[in-house]
Copies of this chain bind each other. A is one copy, B any other.
Amino acid sequence: MPNDVGHEIADALGTLLRRGTRARLYARLTDGLGEAVDETTYPVLSGLARTGPCSAADLAGEIGLDRSGVTRRATRLEEAGLLRREPDPDDRRATLLALTETGQQTVKTTRQRLAAFIEASLASWPPEEAQSFARQLHRFVTTGPFAES
C-alpha cells in the first residue's frame, strides 16, 4: 500500500471530524423540525429509534452519555411531544422512554434528509462506483479504529 493512502484518508477524516462539520450537518438535518430537536437531543431520538422503548440508563449506554444527560434531554423532548415516558409494567420504579408518533416521524425525515444529501453528492458518480464506495466505507467504519473501544 502506498504511503499516500493513509494520509489521504487522514485528511478526509480530519475535515469530517471537525466541530463545525458536525454542527453544520446537524443544523441542516434538523432545520424546521422544532426548537427541541438539535445536535444534542437528536442522538436520544435516534438511539431510541434503534433500541425501541427502554430505560434512560440503557439509552445512556447506547449513545455514550451520562444517565443524567439522557434524563434532561428526554424531558425537553417530552415537553415538545416527541417522546413519551410510560411506567414499566414489570417494574413500578422504572420508567420507559418511547418515541411518540411525531418523534418517529422526526427521526424518519431526518434520516431521509441525510440519505438525500448523500445521494445528491453522489449523483454524478457511476452507480457501481457509488455502490462499492458505500460498501467499503461501511466496512472501514465498522472494522477500523472506531469500533466500540
Contact of A115 among B7, B116, B130, B149 (CB under 8 A): B7
* Copies, count: 2
A12 vs B136: C-alpha distance when bound (angstroms): 10
Known: A10-B114, A114-B10, A146-B15. A134 touches B25 (CB 8 A): no
Nearest CB of chain B from residue A117's CB, rounded to whole Å? 4
The answer, yes or no, to whether A67 is at the interface (CB within 8 Å) is no
Known: A144-B118, A145-B25. A138 touches B1 (CB 8 A): no
**A116 CB contacts on chain B under 8 angstroms:** 6
The number of residues on chain A lying at the interface, defined by a beta carbon within 8 Å of a beta carbon of chain B, is: 60
- Assess whether A140 is in contact with B145, with CB atoms less than 8 Å apart: no
The answer, yes or no, to whether A137 is at the interface (CB within 8 Å) is yes
Contact digits for A92-123, partner B, Cβ 8 Å, 1 yes 0 no: 00000000000000000001001111111111
Interface residues of A (CB under 8 A from B): 1-22, 24-25, 28, 43, 46, 63-65, 111, 114-123, 125, 127, 129-131, 133-138, 140-146, 149
